[in-house]
Amino acid sequence: MATKKGPKYDQIIDAAVTIIAQNGYHQAQVSKIAKEAGVADGTIYLYFKNKEDILISLFEEKMGTFVDHIRSKLMEANTIEEQLQFLVEMHLKQLAADKNLAVVTQLELRQSNYKLRQRINEVLKEYLSVMESIIEKGKASNVFSQDVNDKLARQMIFGTLDEVTTNWVMKDCKYDLESLSKPVFDMLLQGFKLREDVS
Amino acid sequence: MATKKGPKYDQIIDAAVTIIAQNGYHQAQVSKIAKEAGVADGTIYLYFKNKEDILISLFEEKMGTFVDHIRSKLMEANTIEEQLQFLVEMHLKQLAADKNLAVVTQLELRQSNYKLRQRINEVLKEYLSVMESIIEKGKASNVFSQDVNDKLARQMIFGTLDEVTTNWVMKDCKYDLESLSKPVFDMLLQGFKLREDVS
Amino acid sequence: MATKKGPKYDQIIDAAVTIIAQNGYHQAQVSKIAKEAGVADGTIYLYFKNKEDILISLFEEKMGTFVDHIRSKLMEANTIEEQLQFLVEMHLKQLAADKNLAVVTQLELRQSNYKLRQRINEVLKEYLSVMESIIEKGKASNVFSQDVNDKLARQMIFGTLDEVTTNWVMKDCKYDLESLSKPVFDMLLQGFKLREDVS
Amino acid sequence: MATKKGPKYDQIIDAAVTIIAQNGYHQAQVSKIAKEAGVADGTIYLYFKNKEDILISLFEEKMGTFVDHIRSKLMEANTIEEQLQFLVEMHLKQLAADKNLAVVTQLELRQSNYKLRQRINEVLKEYLSVMESIIEKGKASNVFSQDVNDKLARQMIFGTLDEVTTNWVMKDCKYDLESLSKPVFDMLLQGFKLREDVS
DNA sequence: TATGAATGAGTTTTCATTCAT
DNA sequence: AATGAATGAAAACTCATTCAT
Give A71-108 pLDDT, tens digit per residue.
999 999 999 999 999 999 999 999 999 999 999 999 99
If phi > 0 it is left, if psi is from -120 to 50 it is alpha, else beta; for residue B173 that is: left
Q: Which CATH class is domain A55-192?
A: mainly alpha
Which chain B residues contact residue A151 at CB under 8 A?
167
The residues with which B144 forms a beta bridge, in sequence order, are: B193
Q: What is the pLDDT of residues B22-43, one digit of tens each?
A: 999 989 999 999 999 999 999 9
Query: Among candidates C53, C104, C112, which has minimal Cα distance to D26?
Result: C112
Query: Which pLDDT band, with edges at 50, 70 and 90, does A1 fall under?
Result: very low
Q: What is the pLDDT of residues D89-115, one digit of tens each?
A: 999 999 999 999 999 999 999 888 777
Mean pLDDT of B94-102: 97
Domain boundaries D58-192, corresponding CATH code: 1.10.357.10
Measured CA distances, C104 to B10, C19, C64 (Å):
43, 10, 15
Nucleotide at minimal C1' distance from the B37 CA: F6
The per-residue pLDDT string of chain D (199 residues; one tens digit each, 9 = 90 and over) reads: 444 578 899 999 999 999 999 999 889 999 999 999 999 999 999 999 999 999 999 999 999 999 999 999 999 999 999 999 999 999 999 999 999 999 999 999 988 877 788 888 888 999 999 999 999 999 999 999 999 999 999 999 999 999 999 999 999 999 999 999 999 999 999 999 987 654 4
Those residues with Cβ within 8 angstroms of residue B110's Cβ, 6 or more apart along the chain or in another chain: A110, A111, B117
Those residues with Cβ within 8 angstroms of residue A115's Cβ, 6 or more apart along the chain or in another chain: A52
Mean pLDDT of A54-60: 94
Q: What is the pLDDT of residues B116-161, one digit of tens each?
A: 888 888 889 999 999 999 999 999 999 999 999 999 999 999 999 9
Beta strands, E only, chain D: none
The residues with which B97 forms a beta bridge, in sequence order, are: none
Distance in angstroms (rounded) separating the CA atoms of residues B187 and A81: 16
Interface residue ranges in chain D relative to chain C, Cβ cutoff 8 Å: 24, 26, 107-108, 110-114, 117, 121, 145, 147-149, 151-153, 155-156, 158-164, 167, 170, 180, 183-184, 186-188, 190-193, 195-196, 198
If phi > 0 it is left, if psi is from -120 to 50 it is alpha, else beta; for residue A172 that is: left
Angle between helices C80-97 and C51-75 (to 10 degrees): 140
Return the higher-pLDDT residue of A152 and A194: A152
The pLDDT, as a whole number, for residue C5 is: 75
C169 CA – E5 C1', rounded, Å: 45
D45 CA – F13 C1', rounded, Å: 8
The pLDDT, as a whole number, for residue B4 is: 55
The pLDDT, as a whole number, for residue A197 is: 56
Query: Among candidates D83, D70, D102, D81, which has minimal Cα distance to D173?
Result: D102
The pLDDT, as a whole number, for residue D4 is: 56
Residue B161 contacts residue B91 (beta carbons within 8 Å): yes
The pLDDT, as a whole number, for residue C4 is: 57
DSSP character at residue D106:
I
User: Are C and B touching by the rule of 3+ CB pairs within 8 Å?
Assistant: no
The closest CB to that of C191, out of D112, D164, D188, belongs to: D188
Mean pLDDT taken over chain B: 93
Interface residue of C103, C167, C194 to substitute, partner D, most D CBs within 10 Å: C167
Q: What is the pLDDT of residues B153-182, one digit of tens each?
A: 999 999 999 999 999 999 999 999 999 999
The pLDDT, as a whole number, for residue D197 is: 56
Residue A161 contacts residue A93 (beta carbons within 8 Å): no
Given an 8 Å threshold on Cβ–Cβ distance, is A191 in contact with B190?
A: yes
CB atoms within 10 A of CB D17: 22
Handedness of CA B34, B38, B43, B49 (dihedral sign): negative
Distance in angstroms (rounded) separating the CA atoms of residues B131 and D178: 85
The pLDDT, as a whole number, for residue A148 is: 96
User: How far is Cα of residue D164 from the mean position of the Cα atoms in its chain?
Assistant: 13
Given an 8 Å threshold on Cβ–Cβ distance, is A164 in contact with B152?
A: yes
Asked: is B1-49 a CATH 1.10.10.60 domain? The reply is yes
Rg (CA), chain B: 19
Distance in angstroms (rounded) separating the CA atoms of residues C100 and C72: 24
The set of strand F positions with any atom below 7 Å of a protein CB reads 1-20
DSSP character at residue A26:
G
Residue B187 contacts residue A192 (beta carbons within 8 Å): yes
Q: What is the pLDDT of residues B12-21, one digit of tens each?
A: 999 999 999 9
The pLDDT, as a whole number, for residue B198 is: 47
Q: What is the homologous superfamily of the domain C59-192 according to CATH?
A: Tetracycline Repressor, domain 2 (1.10.357.10)
Query: Among candidates D110, B108, A166, D180, which has minimal Cα distance to C156?
Result: D180
CA-nearest residue of chain D to C115?
Answer: D24
Distance in angstroms (rounded) separating the CA atoms of residues C39 and C10: 12
The pLDDT, as a whole number, for residue D102 is: 97
Domain boundaries, chain D: 1-49, 58-192
Which chain B residues contact residue A196 at CB under 8 A?
196
**Main-chain dihedrals φ then ψ at residue D183, nearest 5 degrees:** -60, -35
The pLDDT, as a whole number, for residue A4 is: 57
Subunits close to C (at least 3 CB pairs below 8 A): D
**Main-chain dihedrals φ then ψ at residue A193, nearest 5 degrees:** -60, 155
Distance in angstroms (rounded) separating the CA atoms of residues C111 and C25: 7
Low-confidence ranges of chain C (pLDDT < 70): 1-4, 196-199
